[in-house]
Amino acid sequence: MAEYDLTAKLGRYFDRHLVFPLLEFLTERNIFDEKEILQAKYDLLQHTTMVDFQLDIYKKINIDGEEPKELIQKREDIVSRFTELSQAVQPLLDAVVTEDAARHIEHQRNSDSMLALNFLQKTYGIERSMVDALYTFARYVYDCGDYSRAATNLGLYRALVPSNDKNMMSCLWGKLASEILMQRWDDAYDDLNQLKEAIEVNSSRSPLDLLHQRTWFIHWSLFVYFNHPKGRDDLVQLFLGSATSSTNQTNAYLNTLQTASPHLLRYLAAAVIINPRKKNERTLKELVKVIQQESYAFRDPITEFLECLYVHFDFDGAQQKLRDCTAVLNNDFFLIGCTDEFMENARLLIFETFCRIHHCITIDMLAEKLNMGAEEAERWIVNLIRNASLDARIDSQKGIVVMGSQALSPYQTVIEKTKNLFNRTQMLAQNSEKKRDTNANWSNYQTQQAQAHTTVVPVVD
Amino acid sequence: MASNRFFLREGSSSSEETSDDEQQVQVQAAKKGAGKGVAKHTPKPYLEVSEDEEDVKRVVRSEKEKRYEEIEEIIKKIKHAMRIRDIGLVYECYENLIKAFDKARRVLEKDQGIPRPFIKILAQMDDFVNTCWSDREWRETLTKNNSNNLSALRQKIRRYLKQGTLEKEINAYRERPDVADEEVPEREASPAHEGSERDEDEEDAAVVAPAKAKPQEDDDSASSDESWDQTDGESSDSSIDIDAPNEELYKKFLKSDKPEKEKSTKSKDAASTKRVAKQRRAEALTEQLDDDDDDRDGGPRQDVQKLVSFAKDEEITHEAILKKLNEVIAMRGKRGTNRRDQLECLKLLRSYAEKQNLGVGIDIKILLIQIAVSFDYHHKGNECLKPETWTRALEYIEELLTLLTKHEQVQISENISEEAENLKKEPDYRIHGDAITIILKMDEEFTKILQNADAHSQDYVERLKDELRVCSIIDRLKLYLESKANNQVMISSDSEAGTVPLVQAQHLCTAYMCVIEHLYYKYDKTAGKPSVAIIDRLCKFIYAKDTLNRARARASLCHVYHFALHDHYYEARDLMLMCHMQDTIATSDVATQILYNRTIVQLGLCAFRFGAIREAHQALVDMQSGNRAKELLAQGVQMIRNQERTRDQEMKERQRLLPFHMHINLELIECVYLVSAMLIEIPFMASHEYDARKRPISKHFHTQMRQAEKQPVFGPPESMREHVVAASRAMKTGDWSACVNFLINEKMNGKVWNLMPQANEVRKMLIDKIKEESLRTYLFTYATVYDAISMSTLADMFELPVKQVYGIISKMIINEELMASLEEPNQTVVMHHTDPSRTQALSLQLVEKVFQLYEQNEKLVHFRNGEPNFYSRPNQ
């Protein structure tokens, strides 16, 4: 299954710390050599300050090796640096916990001023440089793997500095990463939205920079979107949102996906498939278009499944792809949670499309297409019919499903339309009548005026 | 082409050199000429020229005689008319004469000049008119008509005589009227030429009549001139400098009449310049028409020769050579300098330098000047270099590059000022100059040469052979610059900036761009298509390093073009979308716009080959609508009716034209477009038969169809368009095999399909598409007739696999184009027959209309109230 693994591609756009969960997951799935993954982890840690973790892994790699000297040394350095930094910010942290300050900070969330900072400066003698030190400290703590402290500190930092601070973006990114790593999805969800706003608001960015920011954003958002209950909806909205509204302007994030990271199509496709169908008839069409456009840049069973189903109408192919999909989903960090949901919805998609095209279908064939037994398929269809999501009957003697005819005769359409029309016209007429009445006084006045005027004219003549 | 070029030149140069009055005459003459066929005077697209030339060859003998006879006839008449002082007749005959002469001009050019009788009669008429004019008494007796004629005639003759060459001839004639009578035109050379010419310039304002009294003076001044010439060329130059204002000088400079000059110079300094003269004579034939500035007079040339020769005992050092060199350079661009002589001098200087072993520095320095001089050999705006000059220039450039690559220590840059040059010392030569500019200039000249050659002649092929050389030169330059850049050679510039790299990124960009411009339109036949990778590398470098937006834009367009040419459809498309050229193209320069158009067309063709019919159609539709493809692609000047263009505009357009070998076949474009339109439009038409708001997708296609329908009888198709129309007809009835036969056959293969590199795949793709669209058309058209139809039958009919038929029909059902559904157990399509009958369709239309009416009403009400939200919308 290694061919469909996206970790290498995704990893490029993640923070180091965010890659750990992915690697952890890969170790579990056993598709790659364990040694290699460990080595990768070790290399990854080389640039962080999580020495203990690194030592652990080192021991796993070289089981009977000594602890390397430089790591021990590194640890000592880190500890000393840590104390140094924490001392620098201690006054600030002490000050903030006081009730007064907390109130001020809370207050400032609503107004964009330097009030809180001024207050702190006055009462506790907190310098601006100390706030900057707070940022450095938070960053360091994050590097050490203490995400919860990092998140708190970054939150505090954000509250204290104005929104155009030069570290603001990093702060937002850091906060998001910390929340993700602590798996606090609700907070992460909020952070994500704030981050998105911040990216879009700042217009002074160069297009290239903007592209980078967006690419990172859509990658990081995967963590949140596939873990937060509202996430998948938002994911679809993010990429195909503006496409469904009538505006002609192209979606910036969809653009980013197409330019920089077509491999994310997998997640988009999965999200669209899983999402309730009724709502996003058009998103599906849009998605299929994008998949076709990018088919040379990225294809995997999931996109191919949609392509088979909606471009070639090759149901056998679709079913084949669906089988492949299971394997892909089970080995994907983000998608593993929704495999069953995906399969169910995909099956429904096939069935629905099939029904729209066909007049009558044998159950055996349907069962084969849907990748289930005949009995099971029949039960499934019966359920669908019962839930009124399908207008069909089963002829169990012949073993076929007969669809109800859905076509409207022109006669009917004409009637439908005109009936509607009649009502609307009447409403219109009534309304204008009403309008005329309300304006009657005014118009009467006007006509009187006009008459008065005309009566004057002859006199002048 | 020669004659054509002559006219071209005369038109443009004379307008520079003549005063306003004269220009009018010119225009008149041109108009007269136009009556008989614009072809002779205006430059034409290559296509027709060849025919024209043939024509001339065939009739040349008889035409010449005919013209002469004609002229003589008229002359006789004029003489008679003058004798009886019939002004009206003279006037009429004069007009005829000028017309006849204009006609005869081309023939006469071959005979080197204006026939003597013509000159004579002009002079006589001039005298006659002047005497008439001065005879007041007689004039008063004239009728009003005649008096008008007289004044008109007088004006016209005066103007006509002032035309460059004629003026001299007339004056020459007037000097020696008796002798010349029997002489053949060529032999009439008079030594007094120079003077007389000058003379006339001075007296532009004066009446011509008194000129008759002047010859004596002229002769004098001329002879004195000559004597100066012999002693000291430069002083003669200066003397001329003094006695006329600048503008006049310029005129004189342009004017020429070679044959005579040649003779006179030869007689004058036969011995000393024998070598040169010999060479000149050899080239004289070819250069007769163009080299008007080549030889002002023989005097200076000789002196130039002297100028560079060293005295025997003089020591030849760097300084000495440089001094001489500077003298030569100083002459450059001055009036009266002979470029050929300059080249000669430079050659001599180089040989001296070489003999004395003065090193490469000085060698390169001289070489640079040699190249520069050979490029402005023919310095007139739109003139191209002659083949000889061109090859010589190429040789020089090659030599320069060899020297530069061989001697690595030589630094050449425009950042080195002339003062900071170092031509002597071994370690590092520093020379002012810029190799890239030279190469660019060369490229430009090459384009000019190709533009001026007839694209369908052997000549063009000969010229085109130089493309290889040009490319190799550019390649060598590229390599040279790259090696310099890689070694990070620095030069200390004389400004305060300190050291700068000898080759900056911008330089490399320019050089790369040059390579790209020569590469992008060529299809690489070798396996692996290395050129794609090369272009890719060069373009990426430019994207990264270039600071001028123009080069970047052009590079990306070329990049796309090359991708498209080699069937990298996705890459080409994505790059095109990513570079956002569409937004800026309207404001960029014309050359880039042309490149943009070419790229779009190529992308369209690529899309077609790829099978993306819709995209192909979309890309090509702009090109085909309005019938201006030729102009938009700069592959020819379109003659638009009711739209006069000034000469200037036309020249500009002509300069933009691409050399023939870069053209994209127009018929291919149109064919691809029409076929794409057919594949989209025919099923569309079939499915929307009753649709009220049906809009044509392709207007051009519809025009073609309509035109074909006007024909009373349908013959077998001949042209490409007829083939497509016939195919469309066949497709309308779902007859795919007929459609295929119309599109893919011997004729169409030759005309269109074989022009594509992968013709076979394209044909296969096309057949598949035709089958598919025919099936769709068939279903749309005949769905009402069927109740049910088996899919296997359909598959047999259209020779498609059942699976594909299944897919196509499914798609139609899903898109609600076809009211039907499939019956899975027995593999049939069941029609629902909800397709409206005629009445139903009409009533549906009516409903639509009523709906529109309602909407309009609603809008109106809202508008009247001025409060859009006053009513809550019903049903919403």
Grade residue B362 by pLDDT with cuts at 50, 70 and 90. confident
Predicted pLDDT at B253:
44
Beta-carbon contacts of B364 under 8 Å, excluding residues fewer than 6 positions away, are B400, B403, B404, B410, B412, B429, B431, B433
**Paired tokens of A92:** 């600030």
Grade residue B874 by pLDDT with cuts at 50, 70 and 90. very low
Query: A366-380, B251-265, B726-740 — which one is most confidently predicted on average?
Result: B726-740
Predicted pLDDT at B52:
42
Residues B539 and B417 in one domain: no
Give bridge partners of residue A250 from the DSSP assignment: none
Residue at B279 is within a domain: no
Under an 8 A CB cutoff, do B810 and A357 touch?
Answer: yes
Give the distance from residue B728's alpha carbon to the nearest chain A alpha carbon, in angstroms: 26
Residues B479 and B558 in one domain: no
Domain tally for chain B? Answer: 4
Which of A118-127, B501-510, B776-785 has the weakest average pLDDT?
A118-127
**Paired tokens of B816:** 């609600």
Residue at B517 is within a domain: no
Residues B555 and B478 in one domain: no
| Residue B556 exposure: Cα atoms within 13 Å on the Cβ side | 20
Residues B453 and B542 in one domain: no
CA distance B576 to A128: 49
Range of the domain at B435: 311-488
The residue from B173, B192, B211 where one domain ends is B173
Closest CB to A428: pick one of B809, B822, B861.
B861
Contact predicate B623/B600, CB 8 Å: yes
Instruction: Render pLDDT for A187-215 as a digit per residue (tens, 0 to 9).
Output: 888 888 888 888 877 667 777 888 888 88
Closest CB to A407: pick one of B832, B841, B857.
B832
Contact predicate B1/B49, CB 8 Å: yes
Q: Is B840 on the interface with A (CB under 8 A)?
A: yes
Residue at B548 is within a domain: yes
- Residues from chain A contacting residue B851 (CB–CB below 8 Å): 417, 421
Residue at B805 is within a domain: no
Query: A243-247, A322-326, A421-425, B559-563 — which one is most confidently predicted on average?
Result: B559-563
Under an 8 A CB cutoff, do A410 and B857 touch?
Answer: no
The residue from B173, B196, B227 where one domain ends is B173
Cβ-based burial of A387 (10 A; exposed 0-12, middle 13-18, buried ≥19): exposed
Predicted pLDDT at B304:
53
Under an 8 A CB cutoff, do B836 and A410 touch?
Answer: yes
Grade residue B599 by pLDDT with cuts at 50, 70 and 90. very high
Task: Classify B474 in phi/psi space as left (phi over 0), alpha (psi -120 to 50) or beta.
Answer: alpha
Under an 8 A CB cutoff, do A357 and B843 touch?
Answer: no
Where is pLDDT greater, at B784 or B427?
A: B784
Mutant choice from A292, A359, A419, A430 vs B, greatest count of B C-beta within 10 A: A359
Closest CB to A365: pick one of B809, B824, B870.
B824
**Paired tokens of A237:** 């909205």
Instruction: Render pLDDT for B813-868 as a digit per residue (tens, 0 to 9).
Output: 888 788 788 887 788 888 877 656 778 778 888 888 888 888 888 887 776 655 54
How many angstroms separate the most distant Cα atoms in chain A?
122
Give the distance from residue B791's alpha carbon to the nearest chain A alpha carbon, in angstroms: 13
Grade residue B109 by pLDDT with cuts at 50, 70 and 90. low
Grade residue B602 by pLDDT with cuts at 50, 70 and 90. very high
CA B337 vs CA B189, B228, B260, B383, B687: distances in Å: 23, 16, 19, 19, 77
Under an 8 A CB cutoff, do B844 and A423 touch?
Answer: no
Residues B615 and B675 in one domain: no
Residues B689 and B733 in one domain: yes
Under an 8 A CB cutoff, do B814 and A421 touch?
Answer: no
Residues B123 and B88 in one domain: yes
Mutant choice from B691, B810, B826, B848 vs A, greatest count of A C-beta within 10 A: B810
| Residue contacts between A and B (CB atoms, under 8 Å) | 89
- Residues from chain B contacting residue A296 (CB–CB below 8 Å): 570
Residue at B455 is within a domain: yes
Q: What is the DSSP string of B801-821?
A: -HHHHHHHHHHHHHTTSS-EE
Residues B432 and B567 in one domain: no
Residues B375 and B479 in one domain: yes
Cβ-based burial of B168 (10 A; exposed 0-12, middle 13-18, buried ≥19): buried
Grade residue B43 by pLDDT with cuts at 50, 70 and 90. very low
Predicted pLDDT at B814:
83
0.90 surpassed by pTM? no
Under an 8 A CB cutoff, do B813 and A356 touch?
Answer: yes
Residue at B789 is within a domain: no
CA distance A371 to A328: 17
Residue at B772 is within a domain: yes
| Residue B255 exposure: Cα atoms within 13 Å on the Cβ side | 25
CA distance B68 to A113: 99
List A residues 339-358 in contact with B (Cβ-Cβ < 8 A): 353, 356-358
Nearest to B350 by CA among B416, B313, B395: B395
Residues B477 and B333 in one domain: yes
Residues B684 and B651 in one domain: no
Residue at B625 is within a domain: yes
Under an 8 A CB cutoff, do A357 and B807 touch?
Answer: no
The residue from B655, B684, B704 where one domain ends is B655
CA distance B296 to B253: 7
Contact predicate B436/B510, CB 8 Å: yes
Instruction: Render pLDDT for B660-719 as a digit per residue (tens, 0 to 9).
Output: 888 888 889 989 999 999 999 888 888 877 665 667 788 888 888 888 888 887 778 888
Residues B387 and B436 in one domain: yes
Cβ-based burial of B53 (10 A; exposed 0-12, middle 13-18, buried ≥19): middle
